[in-house]
Structure 1
Amino acid sequence: MIRPTLTSPADPVAQPGALHPARLKVTGLTRVFGGRKVVDAVSLEVAAGQVTCLLGPSGCGKSTTLRMIAGVEHADAGEVVIEGRTVAAPGLHLPPEARSVGLMFQDFALFPHLTVAENVAFGLRTDKVARAARVGELLERVSLTGFGQKHPHQLSGGEQQRVALARALAPRPRVMLMDEPFSGLDNRLRDGIRDTTLDLLKEEGTGVLLVTHEPDEAMRMADEIALMRAGRIVQRGAPYNVYNAPVDRAAAAFFSDINVIRGVSRGALTDTPFGAFLTPGHADGAEVEIVIRPQHLSIDFDRGGRGPNPTPMEGTPARGTVLRSRYLGRESLVDFAMDHEGAKLTASVPGVFLPKPGTHLWLMIRRDRCFVFGV
């Protein structure tokens, strides 16, 4: 079974940009409101062409962190270094326009009285010919050639998003700061716009810090995820590592539904519906939680291993009674009340599987996909 540990900052898998110079380096960034640290000693690095997602629930301090890096808000402590130049430190605060950063927000923030071309050219400080050439190049790259003379109100949400991207890229920023930039788009548009945005940013070699509260978006876009909670980064690493080795129960639950089996460790073993689990490192009598995701439970019609999602499993089969089942399109979820001390578990099955409430079925568990945490 998996015993989660905090991913080491030296881990080359967890730090995909570690071999390249940092475009952005943040050290000990702190912000205090009303005596409470809303951002508490946040440190991270973003390399050229790397996308780091600052991921966490609403109110955890993500956007405040981004605003301090951008220079829109003052930090109470810490340093921000962009391309080797310190732009924020005790006694130093450069304004946003002096930081060589691009900014993208969820409301697009286009100027309604300017044309598309004028919006894209707004931040450029070059001559007219060079400005027109850069605007034309970017509109072509975001598939908006011929839209230059339109105004924002004449565009769809996806088109406005691409104009905002072109405008942010126009001055060739070394660092792009993005705060929930895709949340205003419907699901049909979102994936395509995200992929286009990611391709362009990587082509430009821009270091990207993206704020999001959506784990799926972070997993899709990020080279590195910095998981944030209550103002602090609690775990950093490559998406695979953060998902498969969560630092605690809350980190596991942030990425997916989970099942939690509680027990007491005795002699480094904990009794569960699926037999005894090894729980080394926990004192005798200590309460522990064994966490497993629904897709790592297998349903069998009997104890012989014949069921709708046969997978190599381990340990003792456990009988449960179906409470309800529902079909979600790609998978079905089945809730069970287990015979063992009334534990309740949920299993997911690819495709359609809708047993009736009251049906008795057997479950088995992927022990190599379980996480054990102290309570």
Structure 2
Amino acid sequence: MSYVQVINIDKSFQGRQVLKKIDLEIAKGEFVTLLGPSGCGKTTLLRIIAGLERSDGGKVIVNGKEILEGQSKKEQNIGMVFQSYALFPNMTAFENIAFGLKIKKVPSAEIRKQVEEVMDILSITGKENNYPHQMSGGQQQRVALARALVVRPDLLLLDEPLSAVDAKVRESARTLIRDVQKKMGITTIFVTHDQLEALVMSDRIVVIDSGEIMQYGTPEQIYHKPANKFVAQFIGTYNFIPGTLVGFPQTEVCIRPEHVLLVGKNELSQVGEADDIKLRGSLENFYILGNTVRAEVAVEGKTIVVDHLNQSARSQFALNDEVGLLIERKSCTILES
């Protein structure tokens, strides 16, 4: 039996349906991400799971107990970290983290022990007496996470907790949250609109659009075998190419940029297998994206994006050069609309 069950959830606001027959099953200890564009319904779904919002239909069951709006936190035993962190400004880091344990009337000695343990796990030991305004965004984020974790919740809900920190902190925070979640074995639902975050952190991803689940699967399934065109467009980058251009008549073919090889125009006849797709075009643009390089090649009025590892400071090609593209036929995907 699944540890978390979301069964047939509907929700409308002012006559506009924002969630439509949502069904999910999550195993104990899983890290599941709700991923989708702004306004798709992912935060509303998280709030319903948390008991902060009433659904119009359906139910949520966590560890065998139905979650109802208005239940006390003790009845629910759900931890939540908000986008704003929602720390109490008049409390120290220690007092913020200990708050839930005090509500549960845990003895003082045990509170200190548990708070110190979770602060050590999150590498914020030494910040016990700091108030929120005395801490960096990353430190505040760890205090908020510690407050949610210290009560050992049945379920941890994270509502875009990384959006308020800079890129460098965000990268390390992704690793931290994932490592702590695995170490403590807490079932977690994470909301984000950031595809990279979802791919890096998740056991499984729920892709949502306009209140409906487009696909629910592992990062590998979502990336390599998207269920439809929306998922393919939303997760990473896909080239959508007329099938007639690559020998698939009456259909559209999808190819990831990393599955296209950029070669010199004179090399094209010397590489690949007999069944491979070979195209000629003109180099329109060339970008360095950190450890990868992206090229845009115009082929018969269609721009094809090519990604490869950045192994040189300079490209061997110049803008407007005629170049060749090599594509293995097996890397082509045909999707539903």
TM-score (norm 2): 0.92
Residue in 2 aligned with 1:347? 306
Q: For residues 258 and 205 of structure 1, what CA distance do their matches in structure 2 show?
A: 35
How far 1:345 moved relative to its partner? 1.4
Q: For residues 258 and 202 of structure 1, what CA distance do their matches in structure 2 show?
A: 32
Residue in 2 aligned with 1:289? 252
Between 320-329 and 101-110, report the one with greater CA deviation: 320-329
Residue aligned with 2:17, SS: strand
Aligned pair 1:247/2:224, yes or no? Answer: no
Map 1:317-336 to 2 at 5 A.
317-336=278-297
Q: For residues 37 and 253 of structure 1, what CA distance do their matches in structure 2 show?
A: 24
Provide Cα deviations, 1:163-212, integer angstroms capped at 9, x if missing partner.
11110011110100111011111121122222222222222221100011
1:357 to 319, 324, 335: 319
Q: For residues 148 and 304 of structure 1, what CA distance do their matches in structure 2 show?
A: 63
Map 1:110-129 to 2 at 5 A.
110-124=87-101, 125=104, 126-129=106-109
Cα contact 1:324–1:356 (8 A) shared by 2: no
Q: For residues 154 and 254 of structure 1, what CA distance do their matches in structure 2 show?
A: 38
Residue aligned with 1:38, SS: strand
Map 1:132-281 to 2 at 5 A.
132-263=112-243, 271-272=244-245, 274=246, 276-277=247-248
Residue in 1 aligned with 2:24? 44
Give unpaired runs (5+ residues) of structure 1.
Answer: 1-20, 264-270, 280-286
Q: For residues 94 and 311 of structure 1, what CA distance do their matches in structure 2 show?
A: 63
Q: For residues 311 and 67 of structure 1, what CA distance do their matches in structure 2 show?
A: 52
How far 1:77 moved relative to its partner? 0.6
Map 1:36-115 to 2 at 5 A.
36-88=16-68, 94-115=71-92
Q: In structure 2, what residue type is equivalent to 1:101?
A: I
Q: In structure 2, what residue type is equivalent to 1:355?
A: F
How far 1:156 moved relative to its partner? 1.1
Query: Number of residue pairs matched?
Result: 331
Cα contact 2:240–2:252 (8 A) shared by 1: yes
How far 1:131 moved relative to its partner? 1.2
Residue in 2 aligned with 1:315? 276
Give unpaired runs (5+ residues) of structure 2.
Answer: none
Q: In structure 2, what residue type is equivalent to 1:321?
A: S
Cα contact 2:50–2:67 (8 A) shared by 1: no
Residue aligned with 1:198, SS: helix
Cα contact 1:87–1:93 (8 A) shared by 2: no
Residue in 2 aligned with 1:16? none
Cα contact 1:29–1:77 (8 A) shared by 2: yes
Identity score, percent: 34
Structure 1 residues 256 and 132: CA distance shift in structure 2, 3 A: same
Cα contact 1:72–1:95 (8 A) shared by 2: no
Structure 1 residues 69 and 246: CA distance shift in structure 2, 3 A: same
Residue in 1 aligned with 2:264? 301
Provide Cα deviations, 1:301-344, integer angstroms capped at 9, x if missing partner.
1354489xx777942421101222222232222222214xx222
Bigger share in helix: 2
Q: In structure 2, what residue type is equivalent to 1:302?
A: K
Structure 1 residues 292 and 305: CA distance shift in structure 2, 3 A: same
